[in-house]
A and B are shown apart, each in its own frame.
Chain A
Amino acid sequence: MPDTILVVVEQREGKLNRVSWETITAGQAIAAATGWTLEAAVVGASASSIAAEVAGKKVAKVYAVESPKLEPYTPDAFAAGLKQLLAASHSKLVLMPHTYQVRDFVPKLATAMGRTVISDCIGFTYENGKLVFTRQMFQGKFAADVSFASDAPWFATFQNGAFRGDKAESGASAAPIETVKVEIADGVIRNKPQEVFKEAKQAVDLTQAEIIVSVGRGIKEQKNIEIAKQLAEALGGDLAASRPICDSGWLPMDRQIGSSGQTVAPKLYLALGISGAIQHIVGMKGSRTIIAINKDSEAPIFEIADYAIVANLFDIVPPLIEEVKKAKAGS
């Protein structure tokens, strides 16, 4: 039997999470490099309609892994269900998106099988028969090449945005779907999840903003938020922040950009005193132009900035506000 790669796509309440297409693209790229066969799996109470959607892509087979106990999501049921699938599919490499849900169950699944997960990867290389994954470490200051030192199945998760979902190739014809009914015994599921909800106070929608002025730790004190606010007002933009600022209560949570907040893609993203931790970057790297002001020349935000200003934001922002006002008055 040839070696196989299994991409486990993610569904939420019967809908495919779009980030799954990125993982399919990643799987197709690894399949092309290694010559291994690519398969996919959908896990849920009823997985067939999403399985049909995935079967349109260039994959050899799609498993619809089903049990009534897989809805609602629990880590216990997902780990148990996928363990049964993997015992039958003999996958060499298992790929998933690095979502909060995957983070919740994949370390458990791998551990239950005595295996490991290389998590939050941004790329891979395959040279001389060796598969190596690239991931960020030290908050993005370094990249690391990481390899598996254990037996298959190998588990890896990919960071949101590491591959292009719209580049997932379609197949010449629909891939066959194999329904796998898994048995999840009573007592396996210990958690009782309630309904998913959104906090009522989530009032600010930054996803439509054209200009965002965003503040990070470098703002130092709550009272200094004011100058960022003035700059945002002068530019006609919205004020946002990285997680620590919202954690401190200096700005409300609904102004947070990043994996736990909003994902934005404005024309201009002006980052003030933001170091650029991965969790923040994933929420704003799609911005058309990124200007970063930070006094630390090694801050990871500069890796993705179009314009870099290595300086104290408190020196730059006040004259910048004046210049913006002048420019607007003159236009």
Chain B
Amino acid sequence: MKILVCMKQVPQKDAPLKLNETGAWIREDVSYEVNEPDAYALEEALRQKEKHTGEVVVITSGPARSQQVLREALAKGADRAIHLEDNAFVGLDAFNTAKAFAAAIKDEKFDLIFTGLQSDDYGYAQTGVILAELLGSPHATIIMQIEKTDSGIRVKRELEAGFFQFVDMPLPAVLTIQSGINKLRYATLIGIKQAKNKPLRKVMLAEVQSAIGENLQKIERLYVPQKTKKTEHIEGSASEIAKKLVDKLRNELRVL
């Protein structure tokens, strides 16, 4: 099976974020990490390859810093990488990001394309489904299990409130992967060494420019949300806080 994994670099979960001077985006001098569901998508691709042989290709878009995500993926076992390298990709909406990816892989034939179910920065939860539509492939979202069948694949979709559903579908297909589908592996020292010699194709903005257009939606401004709830801070030493909390639990909330 030939599998493409779409990955994204996002600010680290506990990175303190600040607005930049445009007021419509963050200051980018923060620490980054791989978008968590994308890490699970990569792991699933590696496991499928181990079971059925084939190739795992990873793709991302963004400035030079985002290459780190690809390097880590290669170290974990991906075979090659594609980097749409330009700062301009950061500002694309999901529609144009998917268009750029589709243009970058137009000469390739993948059996499966994985994305994480959503990103921790935009959180649109759309790029994978849009990519499927652009490629004319069937898709399924929020996937917790993938098995190869005679006619294609059988996937387990997570629904809400603890419900699930198996879906049979033909290949090629696009799947958005839920966190927790598997257990993540660590890169080995030998893997990190080998990654240095694996192919990484850079795609410049100019190469895909004709495929993308103006964003269909626009972030007017970004801001710290206004609090709707009155929050009382409880401060002091650990034992003081514990005493104050118990007092609240007992006399205000009446749960003790």
Whose C-beta in chain A lies nearest to the C-beta of B225?
A: A143
Find out whether the CB atom of A100 lies under 8 angstroms from the CB atom of B218.
no
B residues in contact with A179, CB < 8 Å: none
How would residues 74 to 114 of chain A score, 1 for a CB under 8 Å from any chain B CB and 0 otherwise?
Answer: 01100000000000000000000001110111011001100
Give the docked Cα–Cα distance between A16 and B249 (Å): 39
Report the bound CA distance from A136 to B229 in whole Å: 17
Per-residue 0/1 for A316-331: is the Cβ within 8 Å of any B Cβ (1 yes, 0 no)?
Answer: 1001101110111001
Q: Are B125 and A328 in contact (CB under 8 A)?
A: no
> Could you tell me if A298 and B245 are in contact, using CB atoms closer than 8 angstroms?
no
Residues A119 and B125 in contact, CB atoms below 8 Å apart = yes
A323 contacts B255, C-beta separation under 8 Å: no
Q: Is the CB of A191 within 8 A of B234?
A: no
Q: Which residues of chain B come closer than 8 Å to A307, judged between CB atoms?
A: 231-234, 245, 248
The answer, among A243, A302, A326, for a CB contact under 8 Å with B231, is A302
- Which of these binds chain B: A27-35, A50-58, A258-266? A258-266
Pick out which of these stretches binds chain A: B13-21, B57-65, B83-91.
B13-21
Nearest Cβ on chain B to A262's Cβ, whole angstroms:
7
Residues of B within 8 A of A135 (CB): 123
- Do B231 and A319 touch (CB < 8 A)? no
A76, A263, A323, A328: the one contacting B138 at CB < 8 Å is A76
**Chain A interface, DSSP helix/strand/loop, else mixed:** mixed
| B contact residues around A202 at 8 Å (CB) | 162
A247 proximal to B (CB < 8 A): yes
Q: Do residues B217 and A116 form an inter-chain contact, with CB atoms below 8 A? A: yes
Q: Which one of A198, A319, A324 contacts B163 once the chains associate, using CB atoms below 8 Å?
A: A198
B205 on the A face (CB < 8 A): no
Give the CA-CA distance A139 to B221 in the complex, in Å: 16
CB distance from A264 to the nearest CB of B (A): 12
| Distance in angstroms between the alpha carbons of A145 and B225 in the assembled complex | 11
The count of residues in chain B whose C-beta lies closer than 8 Å to any C-beta of chain A is 81
Please, how many angstroms separate the alpha-carbon atoms of A307 and B247 in the complex?
Answer: 13
Minimal beta-carbon separation of B49 from chain A (angstroms): 22
Asked if B133 is an interface residue, CB under 8 A from chain A, the answer is yes
In contact, A100 and B250 (Cβ under 8 angstroms): no
Checking B36, B130, B215, B241 against A309 with a beta-carbon cut-off of 8 angstroms, the contacting residue is B241
Residue of B nearest to A321 (CB): B242
Residues of chain B within 8 A (CB-CB) of A243 are 179-180
Q: B169 within 8 Å of A by Cβ?
A: yes
- Partner among A194, A210, A263, A308 whose Cβ is within 8 Å of the Cβ of B232: A308
Q: CA A112 – CA B223 in complex, angstroms?
A: 32
Residues in A neighbouring B256, C-beta threshold 8 A: 235, 324, 327-328, 331
The answer to whether B133 touches A112 (Cβ under 8 A) is yes
Nearest residue, chain B, Cβ from A119 = B124
B245 to chain A, nearest CB (A): 6
A residues 18-70 in Cβ contact with B at 8 Å:
none
Chosen A-B contacts, 10 in total, with CB atoms closer than 8 Å, are A100-B160, A108-B133, A138-B17, A147-B217, A148-B218, A193-B167, A247-B180, A259-B160, A296-B14, A309-B234
A139-B123, A194-B168 known; 15 new pairs, CB 8 Å cut-off, are A107-B133, A111-B134, A112-B133, A116-B95, A120-B125, A137-B123, A190-B169, A198-B164, A199-B164, A210-B255, A235-B256, A254-B162, A268-B249, A310-B235, A327-B256
A interface residues with partner B (beta carbon < 8 Å): 75-76, 99-101, 103-105, 107-108, 111-112, 115-120, 132, 135-150, 190-199, 202, 210-211, 217, 235, 243-244, 246-249, 253-254, 259-263, 267-268, 275, 277-278, 288-289, 291, 296, 298, 302-311, 315-316, 319-320, 322-324, 326-328, 331
